[in-house]
Structure 1
Amino acid sequence: MAGISSLGAQSGLDLEGIVNATIEAERVPKVNRLNRQESQLSVELSFIGELKSVMSDFKDAAAKLADVDQYNKNKTTVTQPESGDIISVSSDGDAAPGSFEVEVVNMAKGSRATSSAGAFTDAEQVISSQSGSLTFSAGDKSFTVDIAADATLDDIRKQVNDADDNFGVTFNIINTGSEARLVATSSETGAGNDIEITNTNADFDALSTVANAGGAGGMSIAAEDQSTDALIRVDGIDATSPDNTFEDVIQGSTITVEGESQNGETATMRIAEDNSAVRKNIDGFVKAYNNVMGLLGQAGAEGAQFQGDATVRSIENQMRRFLSEEAGGLSMFNAGFGIDDENKLQQENTLTSVSEVAKERFGDFEKLFAGENGLASRIEDYVNTYTSFGGSLQTRTDSLNNRLDRVDDQREQLNQRLEQLENRLRQKYSGLDSLLGQLQSTSNRLDQQLSGLPGFGGNKE
């Protein structure tokens, strides 16, 4: 806003200083007022933002306690025998606590078929000059492989093993030195699920368990190579499964067989209630509650900016009311929560503690937070009235931002007015500076002229 030339150059007066002092006298009180407004609004806006954040965290912490799944968890541990791991176990909420001794008598296995002695000379033997197909089945699964004419034993091996719909059949060739033996294994376990191989070309009978014309083929399954069920013994009671997974043999638990017991060894399986998730979420809830109350207490303290603020008082009162509201026959107070000397929520009171109540009345404790119209849903509804779109805190935030925008507008308007005032003052004082300069110049000429007259300090001759 400074002028092109400095005022006072003609008159010798400090007119520049007068203009600046006048501008400052007009600017400083108004700028200070706007700064105070901006500071107060910024502090309030920051507080509202922080309040929304801690209230949202409080709602989220309550929501975690509303998750019914966390109240029905079990923890299962397995102590394996010295010979090695024989089982793995998972349990759900239906499993009752208990301890069990599990012996794996035998694992489920698939069947194994072997070709007859002397059936094949080597892997490169051509099986048939005509095409045909082999069909493999075990249990309710099957697939078919089309074999081209003049295919060798090794060609067929590769084709079977690479079939896209192969459900778990493997062809292997064992070269003894004097002949080749074909071995077919199936991954389909369970008693009665032996592999069956049929064909459409009698030349393939040596590759089949069933001949083309009926009857036995060249592949046979020894008694010890038949598919079998898995057998486990739980506390002396036998249980079987067509595969190595036992569901609900112990209700609510799934036992997977990993190996067979040696010399009757057993694995010890223990099921116990697992409330660690509930305890962790209670800790988070208490922390979130105290964060809300701590912020409100600090903001509304005596002499603080928000002392007596209606929103602060209202939220504080409702947060305290949550402690006494009942759901499922419990309130937070008779569920073991309490308030210490610093008004912080803690997990014990003069009568009991959260851990004791949760141990004795776990079902009621669950209903307090997770039941229909439980505390968590009430907290969510209440917090949403403040933090959701259109909520009171959001409305207040929008209002504060609008007021900050108006402060910016007032600053701009003030700068424009001060610029206009400076222009007026410079015009005013520029004329005065010019006039005084002219008067000073006239005075100097008169002094010079008078000094030349007799009796005025000039020549006296």
Structure 2
Amino acid sequence: MATITSAGVGSGLDLESIIQATVNAEDLPRMKRFEESKTRFSVQLSGLGAVKSTLSAFQDIIKKLADPANFSKRSNTITQPASGDLISVASNSSATPGNFNIKVNQLAQGSRATTNAAFTAPTDVVSAAGGKLTIAAGTKSFEVDVAAGATLEEVRAAINDSADNFGVSVNIINTGGATPEAKLVISSNVSGTGNDLTITNDNAELDNISTTAFGGGAGGLTIAVADQARDAIIEVDGIAVSSETNIFKDAVQDLTITAKKVSEGTETAKLTVDYDKTGVEKLIDEFIAAFNNAVGTIEYHTKAGAALYGDSAMRGLKNQLINTLSTSVSGAGGFETLFDVGIGLTKAGKLEKSTLVRSVNEALTSDYADVGKLFSGETGLAKTFESFLESHLETEGSFKFREESLNKSLRQIEDDKASHDYRMTQLEAGLRAKYASLDVLIASMKSSGSYITQQLASLPGFTSSKK
């Protein structure tokens, strides 16, 4: 406390120590109780937060288990040949499990047209008057204006830079040698048999850079057999399938197969489509770990000497978690409870994989869909856990109520401490006022005593005894 005066100066008594001892006797025990209460509530709040955190992590796993989509995924296992990857595969949730041998006979390609010996250099003028080219492949087309006096290089730039270009690229190949040639090479990315490039014009001067002449017949651009647009062709278990692109959608129903390279000889890629048992088993492992972590955290914070020791709400929460595991589920085939799919409960209340009835892998192999229903069905285990956890963790849940109560208690302690400090200040001030009067009284008496002694000393025959 702040020192207001220096008591005892007048009387010579150690009044400061008396005042401080009196204040401390009132102040220190109460402050100790405040700090003990503050520590107790803070530790409880911390323990509560730890339990809530592990339950939130458990809730995240439960939400995944409650989602039927996580039980409808497929896994695609591809064994590629030694020469390299032939295919890639994607499947949807309706794909039927099965095994397939896939051979790639041909990759899809777009067409390529090349000019004949009409130009010697990129600067050669294509047309004195200019005109318009119409470039098409399959169902796509666009037009390009050729300016009067445009050179081969300028035509190349006009086509490549056209805002409507759907996938046509133009290059010039200069042959060099004694009789140099500048060949215009036009390539299209539109693949598929019958989707060859067609380039027509509205001015015969542009015939040399067209596949069809203005008056009909062949133009100066030709497409070699090897450069024609073509389909991709694969064999699925010996059955030939073609596609305009390298992507085969539903060649095998609900699968999308992408051809990546042509098979060497008779080599094939072996494809196995199956339920995503590995993904689901991993999710079940996460469920077991998250449940055990939640139960273990509750046990840790409720053991003797811990923050939540003796907390009946925490004990009840743990029992509810364990009891929910025994929820009976209908509509999941031969699986009525969690313990029917290869999961057991130890005496300590922890989950573990068990093979007493069957293993988790065996359950997934024999009745994959029913395992999904056990967890994610309308009356499934995950749905039950979802409702239970929401009642504790959501905005108006039990944890929110407990946290608010503890925080309110901590705020009340701070208010009580402030009130107590004020009372101690008043107590000290009162003591100082009382002892100040005593100090003055004793000082006055000492002064009067000295005066009387002096007066007596001046009387005849008065002697002062000295030791």
Q: If the length of structure 1 is used for normalisation, what is the TM-score? A: 0.91
Name stretches of at least 5 consecutive residues in structure 2 with no aligned partner: none
Name the CA shift for 1:174/1:423 in 2 (closer, same or farther; >3 Å).
closer
- Within 5 Å, which residues of 2 pair with 1:372-451? 372-451=378-457
| Whole-Å separation in 2 of the counterparts to 1:105 and 1:4 | 102
Task: Look up the match of 1:242.
Answer: 244
User: In 1, Cα distance between the equivalents of 2:134 and 2:37?
Assistant: 88
> Superposed, which structure 2 residues align to 1:165-204 within 5 Å?
165-177=164-176, 178=179, 179-204=181-206
| Rounded Cα–Cα distance in structure 2 between residues aligned with 1:349 and 1:316 | 25
- Computed over aligned residues only, the root mean square deviation of the Cα atoms, in angstroms, reads 2.4
- What CA distance in whole angstroms lies between the structure 2 residues aligned with 1:448 and 1:139? 135
Note the alpha carbon deviations across 1:61-97, whole angstroms, 9 max, x for none.
1112223333233333333334433323333333344
TM-superposed CA distance for 1:376, in Å, is: 2.0
Hey, what does 2:157 align to over in structure 1?
158
AA aligned opposite 1:29: P
- How many angstroms does 1:381 deviate by? 1.9
Is 1:363 the counterpart of 2:369 in the alignment? Answer: yes
Mean Cα displacement is larger for which, 158-167 or 416-425?
158-167
Q: CA deviation at 1:217?
A: 2.1
Question: Counterpart in 2 of 1:225?
Answer: 227
* Correspondences of 1:41-440 after superposition (within 5 Å): 41-117=41-117, 119-177=118-176, 178=179, 179-301=181-303, 306-327=308-329, 328-329=331-332, 330-348=336-354, 350-440=356-446
Residues 404-413 or 325-334, more deviating: 325-334
Does the 8 Å contact 2:80/2:86 carry over to 1? yes
Q: Secondary structure at the match of 1:113?
A: strand
Counterparts in 2 of 1:458 and 1:55: CA distance versus 1, 3 Å: closer
- My pick for the range that moved more, 436-445 or 172-181, is 172-181
Deviates more, 1:344-353 or 1:145-154: 344-353
Q: Assess if the C-alpha contact under 8 Å between 1:3 and 1:426 holds in 2.
A: no
Aligned residue pairs total: 458
Q: Find the aligned partners of 2:269 and 2:421 in 1 and give their Cα distance.
A: 85
Using a 3 Å threshold, how does the CA distance of structure 1 residues 213 and 349 change in structure 2: closer, same or farther? closer
Change (3 A) 1:230 1:175: same
Cα offset, 1:204, TM superposition? 0.8
Q: Which moved more, 1:136-145 or 1:240-249?
A: 240-249
Check 1:4–1:317 CA distance in 2 against 1; reply closer, same or farther (3 A cut).
closer
Tell me, in whole angstroms, the C-alpha distance in 2 between the residues paired with 1:187 and 1:230.
14
TM-score (normalizing by structure 2) = 0.90
Deviates more, 1:9-18 or 1:289-298: 289-298
- Judged with a 3 Å threshold, the aligned counterparts in structure 2 of structure 1 residues 304 and 115 are, in CA distance, closer, same or farther, namely closer
2:246/2:258 contact within 8 Å kept = yes
Write the letter of the residue equivalent to 1:92: N
- Looking at structure 2, the residues matched to 298 and 113 of structure 1 have their Cα atoms a distance apart, in angstroms, of 77
Taking the aligned partners of 2:144 and 2:5, their CA distance within structure 1 comes to 103
Runs of 4+ with deviation above 6 angstroms: none
Segments of 5+ residues of structure 1 without an aligned counterpart are: none
Structure 1 range deviating more: 197-206 or 40-49: 40-49
Question: What percent identity do the matched residue pairs reach?
Answer: 44
Q: 2 CA distance for matches of 1:405 and 1:430?
A: 38
Q: Counterpart of 1:207 in structure 2: which amino acid? A: I
Question: What CA deviation, in whole Å up to 9, does each residue of 1:195-248 have, x standing for no partner?
Answer: 111111121112111222233222222333321111122222211111111122
Structure 1 residues 3 and 27, CA gap change in structure 2 (3 angstroms):
same
2:369 & 2:189 partners in 1: Cα distance? 46
